[in-house]
Structure formats: C-alpha cells, structure tokens
Amino acid sequence: DTGVSQDPRHKITKRGQNVTFRCDPISEHNRLYWYRQTLGQGPEFLTYFQNEAQLEKSRLLSDRFSAERPKGSFSTLEIQRTEQGDSAMYLCASSLMGQGVPKYGYTFGSGTRLTVV
Amino acid sequence: GQSLEQPSEVTAVEGAIVQINCTYQTSGFYGLSWYQQHDGGAPTFLSYNALDGLEETGRFSSFLSRSDSYGYLLLQELQMKDSASYFCAVRPGGDSSYKLIFGSGTRLLVRP
C-alpha cells in the first residue's frame, strides 16, 4: 500500500469552469476526509465519509461543491463554476473505523493544488 | 465558535529544545493531536493526547492539560530536518463526528 493518493497534483482552471479531484485512500481505511488549506493556514474541514455514506459537511462547503465516495473506496470532489477564492490546496485523508482519532492519526495525501485564473 | 491558538513562528538552534504551545476553545473535546508539514508536503501525524500528561515518542513529546485547555509539543535535539510547520488539532465532536479542527500552524525554523 502506497498511502493516500490524490490526482491531479496540480490543476489550473479558468474561472467558471468545473473541476474534479480524485482521492484513493489506504485500502483498509473506511473513513475518508476532505480538507482545504490555503497558504499559511491550517487545513479546514470540508466533509467526511464513513464507507460510502457522507456523514458530515462543513458550512464552508457551498452548493458548488459536491463529494462522492461510490462503493466506499475512492472519492471525488467536484467544484462547479470555480471562483478565484477556490484557489487552495485540497487535501484528502483517511483513517480506520472504530478508533475515533486513532493513535496513529489520519494519513493525508499530498494534495491537489488548485489555481483559478 | 471553535478556535485553536498557537504561535505563528518559532526559531531555534540545531541541537536545542523547543516548545510549541497550543490553547483551544472548542464545543467538545476528544483529544489533541499534532501534525508536521514540510513545505509542499502532506501533514504527517506526530502525536495524540486524550488524557492529561506527557506522551513521549523519540525526540518528540506532547503534553495535555484538559483543565487548562492547553497542550504543547516539545522537540528535543533539534535537527535541520525539523524545520517545518506544526499544527495542533482537536476533535471536538461527539461519537458521531470524527473531523479534526486545526490551528493555523507554527512555522519552526532550525538554524545551524
């Protein structure tokens, strides 16, 4: 297992376009989280899944954002009608069910850096 | 609201000891975690405290005082590779929520 994978690593898009990011978690992890991070700030929670169920969404997640985790494996995060304020690093993390915040913590991917021009 | 406060930047000399403090104000509390993030890299889990006291993992130790809503990360025998950002994070939710709330991070610069 190579950890949490995110694709693409970088995405430049024009304002108003739609973008989709993919996250492949560690295979035995059934909790998956999306966070957003801007320069000089900590990761901000967006949403999380337990298996295929989306259990919580942040109020930061406007109607333009949607996330899915079909079959409880990989997840996608789509942003519609992108705005310049969406420019950020989008991080995915996974963890193992039954351990709350496990002693080994969340495993983060390297992120997708989105630039909206 | 929910907030975590930590210093924005700390500078220390190679071989020294540095302490990074974190105070939190959250609606609930299920433990304090610390993550390290090098520039351009992913946050990496360092430590977790659910109960008061000190947890030691090699050169890194983490402390928690629930009554003071305060914790710190202690880095000993600093190495140049320890230059990175360090984030404290709290899980504020109940049994049904596993999200983490992160602080803004402390940028540690280790000088020769």
DSSP A80: S
pLDDT (tens digit per residue) in B45-82 = 999 898 999 999 899 999 999 999 999 999 999 999 99
Whether the predicted pLDDT of A83 surpasses 80: yes
Asked whether the beta carbons of residue B103 and residue A103 sit closer than 8 angstroms, the reply is no
The pLDDT value recorded for residue A99 is 54
pLDDT band at A100 (very low <50, low <70, confident <90, very high): low
Chain B interface residues facing chain A, Cβ-Cβ under 8 Å? 4, 30-31, 33, 35, 41-46, 48, 87, 89, 91, 96-105
CB A116 within 8 A of CB A47: no
CB contact under 8 A, A42 and B102: yes
pLDDT band at B32 (very low <50, low <70, confident <90, very high): very high
Q: What is the pLDDT of residue A101?
A: 55
Chain A nearest-CA distance from B12, in A, is: 20
Q: Do A42 and B87 touch (CB under 8 A)?
A: yes
What does the pLDDT read at residue A59? 85
Q: What is the pLDDT of residue A105?
A: 83
Plot region of A106 (φ>0 → left; ψ -120 to 50 → alpha; else → beta):
beta
Give tens-digit pLDDT for A19-28: 999 999 998 8
Q: How close is the nearest chain B Cα to the Cα of A44, in Å?
A: 7
Which range is most confident: A2-6, A97-101, B21-25?
B21-25
Residues from chain B that touch A104, judged by Cβ atoms under 8 A, are 45
Chain A hits for B100, Cβ within 8 Å: 33, 43, 45, 101, 106
Q: Cβ neighbours of residue B106 under 8 Å, at least 6 residues apart?
A: B6, B7, B8, B9, B10, B20, B85, B86, B87
Mutate to test the interface with B, among A10, A101, A108 (most CBs of B within 10 A): A101
Kindly indicate the confidence band of residue A86, based on its pLDDT and cuts at 50, 70 and 90.
very high
In angstroms, the CA A13 to CA B24 distance is 37
Measure in Å the smallest separation between the Cα of B69 and chain A Cα atoms: 18
For the ranges A52-61, A88-97, B32-41, the lowest mean pLDDT is seen at A52-61
pLDDT at A47: 95
Residue A65 neighbours by CB under 8 Å, 6+ apart: A46, A77, A78, A79, A80
**Percentage of chain B surpassing pLDDT 90?**
79
Bond before B43 cis per omega within 30 degrees: no
Tens digits of per-residue pLDDT, A34-76?
A: 999 999 999 999 999 988 999 889 887 889 999 999 888 999 9
| Burial call A16-45: b when 16+ CB within 10 Å, e when fewer | eeebebebbbbeebbbbbbbbbeeebbbbb
Whole-number Å distance between alpha carbons of A62 and B90: 24
Nearest to A108 by CA among A44, A32, A18: A32
